[in-house]
Amino acid sequence: MVDVAPGGSGSKTVVSLEPIDAMIQRADHLLAEAQNLGQQYLTQSGDILHVGWDGQASQTSYAVAGQVEADLNQALAANMELHQHLADAKAQFLAQQADSSHHLAGVHPGAAPSSQM
């Protein structure tokens, strides 16, 4: 978290990286939940197919299981991309914060915001 207290005004602006971290955790949780449900479906579908179930229903179940697996892989790829974008946003925020702090210290020595990461 970064506290910025402008000189003399007494007001304080609080900027936090917590929303980005919370979004990452939420995305991870939802992906894990989706993977768990998908794996349950794949396991149960495989169990049904291995007991000798055949015909059109078996072929349909096999096709659906393949689509579920493809969707899980797509969700994993999207989650990895989301992680990368959020990490980039966080790194950019931190770099801008450091740059702003440096510039502020150059103009008003001793007035740089305190950083509490």
Question: Residue 7 gets which letter from DSSP?
Answer: T
Rounded CA separation 37/70 (Å): 14
At 87 the pLDDT is: 87
* pTM > 0.95: yes or no: no
Strands 114-115 and 2-4: antiparallel
Lowest mean pLDDT among 72-76, 77-81, 87-91, 113-117: 113-117
Rounded CA separation 21/76 (Å): 18
For 53, the 3-state DSSP assignment is coil
Per-residue pLDDT tens for 83-102? Answer: 899 889 888 888 888 888 87
Rounded CA separation 10/109 (Å): 18
Per-residue pLDDT tens for 35-72? Answer: 898 889 888 887 777 777 778 877 888 888 889 889 98
